[in-house]
Amino acid sequence: MPQKSPLIAIYPGSFDPLTLGHLNIIQRSLKLFDSLVVAIVVNPNKQSLFSLEERRAMIEEALGKDRKRVRVDSFSGLLVDYVRAQNARAIIRGLRAVSDFEYEFQMAHMNRSLYPDVETIFMMAGEDHFYVSSRLVREVASLGGDVSPMTPPNVHRALLARFPRKEKP
């Protein structure tokens, strides 16, 4: 019998930084796919808090035992070109509130018209992660707020190093 090729999915995003919301999507995707590529989008026009290398290292450390089936990579250019080059079958996206929907819907349509063989799979955010976004985590951490409930411990440490908490008077 011919060997079946492994089912690979791509999970693209900025991951600036990785949150527990992202990690939850990664863990659930691994129940559906043999392996997952967490693909950090390189966008030279967008200023990021953490460098590409820092983000990659943080994701790898936070993966723990799942690291065996997850590869962390980065790409620039069209997502569908990257998906094709990786021989992947699906793009994974997380859906939080209604506000995510419109943009995601457009992107999924666009990607399918560019590359009809790829499916975008949406996962509803885990119930504890609906309101977690990297942007909010960055903002709150920069103002000295505690983001430990929303971030893996290593990401929390990196944020504390970047934005030391001031002692309350």
* Side chain identity at residue 150, one-letter code: M
Which member of 28, 84, 89, 96 is catalytic? 96
Q: If binding is defined by CB under 6 A, does position 29 make contact with ligand ADP?
A: no
Burial of 100 from C-beta contacts in 10 A (0-12 / 13-18 / 19+): middle
Q: Which of 14, 29, 111, 120 binds ligand ADP (CB under 6 A)?
A: 14
Query: Hey, which residues between 97 and 136 contact ligand ADP (CB under 6 A)?
Result: 100, 125, 129, 132-135
* Rounded Cα gap, residues 20 and 125, in angstroms: 10
- Listed ranges 50-58, 75-83, 91-99, 154-162: which one lies at the site for ligand ADP (CB under 6 A): 91-99
* Rounded Cα gap, residues 22 and 123, in angstroms: 11
Whether 4 is a known active-site residue: answer no
96 alpha carbon, distance to own chain's centre: 13
Q: Which helix (H) or strand (E) holds 34?
A: none
Whether 65 is a known active-site residue: answer no
Binding site for ligand ADP (CB under 6 A): 13-15, 19, 21-22, 25, 93-94, 96, 100, 125, 129, 132-135
Cite the active site residues.
22, 46, 96, 134
